[in-house]
Amino acid sequence: MRRRFFLFLLALAGALRAAPPAGTTTDPRIFRDLEYVAGGGKSRSLDLYLPAPAAGPFAVVVWIHGGSWRGGDKARNPAAFLGADGIATASINYRLLQEAPFPAQIQDCKAAIRFLRLHAAEFHLDPARIGVWGESAGGNLAALLGTTNGVAELEGPSRDGLSQVQAVCDWFGPTDMPTLLAQAKTFPPTSPLAKETATILALLGATPSAEVQRQASPLGFVSPDDAPFFIVHGDGDPLVPLRQSEDLCRALRAAGVEATLLVLKGAGHGGAPFQVPELQDRIRGFFATQLKAK
C-alpha cells in the first residue's frame, strides 16, 4: 500500500503545471538561484543543471555541501560530471546554524527535494528518480534524507510524502550523534574531533536532549524501506570516526537495505583521495544503477 500511495503522489506531482520560479542563468540549461521555499532567499535556493542535448525526463542527483553546518555554498557542484551520463544535478543551499538551529537544515533539504518533484514537468525531470549526495555535514543530511521519509518532526510544514529519495551517496557524514558526542569527551579539547563536536553542540543546543540527538542521527531511523546507500569514508578521518559509517552500513544491511561502504586507506576528511577518477567512476555506476529508468 505504501508503494501504491507513493506512486500516486508521483503521478500527482508530474501532473502539476505551475510555472517554474524565476532564476538567473547565462546558460539555457542551467537554472541558478531557484528559491525552493517562497521568499527563502539565498539560504533556501538551488542551482539546477540539465544535461545536453538530451530531452529528458532526467534522473536528478542533489548535491549537499559540507562545512560543519556553518559554512559552504551551492556554487560548488562536484556532481556536475553526472550530466555526461544524462543525469541532471542540483546543488542546494540550506540554512546554516547561524540562521536557524536543527532541524531547520534537514527540513530545508526535504523542501528542496519536494520542489524538484513538484516542478519535475517544467524542468523535464523524472520525479521517480531522485538521488542525493553529500559530504561531511552534507553527508549527514543526505543520510537523513535516505532514512527519515515520513518522520513528521523532520519533514517541516509539508508532510505530503514527496521528499523521498531513491539513492544516497554519503561521504563521511556523522550518523550517530550520541556516540560521537560521548567519544569526543575522551579526546583533548584541542583535538579535531572535540572541535567538531563543539560545532555539533552549536547546531543541536549546548545540552541537547536525547531526542534531539536522535533526530540528527540517521542510524536511529534505519528501516527496510530506506534508499540504497553508497558510503565512502577515510580510515584516517580526524573529524568523523570511520566507525560512524561502519555502524550505519551494518544497520542498513541488517534491515535488508542495499548498502556499500568503501574505506579509503590513509584518507582523512576529504581531500585528494576523494577526487580520483576511480572513485568518480564508482559514484557514476552507483547512480546509474539505482536511478535507472524503470
Q: Is the pLDDT of residue 17 over 80?
A: no
Nearest to 164 by CA among 129, 135, 136, 192: 129
Beta strand pairing call for 229-234 and 167-171: parallel
Nearest to 274 by CA among 86, 282, 218, 131: 282
Identify whether 20 is preceded by a cis peptide bond (ω within 30 of 0). Answer: no
Nearest to 81 by CA among 240, 283, 220, 291: 283
Q: Is the pLDDT of residue 18 over 60?
A: no
Arithmetic mean of pLDDT, 17-23: 42
Per the CB < 8 A criterion, the answer to whether 5 and 157 are in contact is no
User: Residues near 253 by Cβ (< 8 Å), separated by ≥ 6?
Assistant: 259
Arithmetic mean of pLDDT, 164-176: 98
Least confident of 24-38, 62-76, 143-157: 24-38
| Grid coordinates belonging to 156 | 517541516
Map out the domains of the chain as residue ranges: 2-290
Beta strand pairing call for 167-171 and 125-135: parallel
> pTM of the entire structure?
0.91
The answer regarding whether domain 2-290 maps to CATH 3.40.50.1820 reads: yes
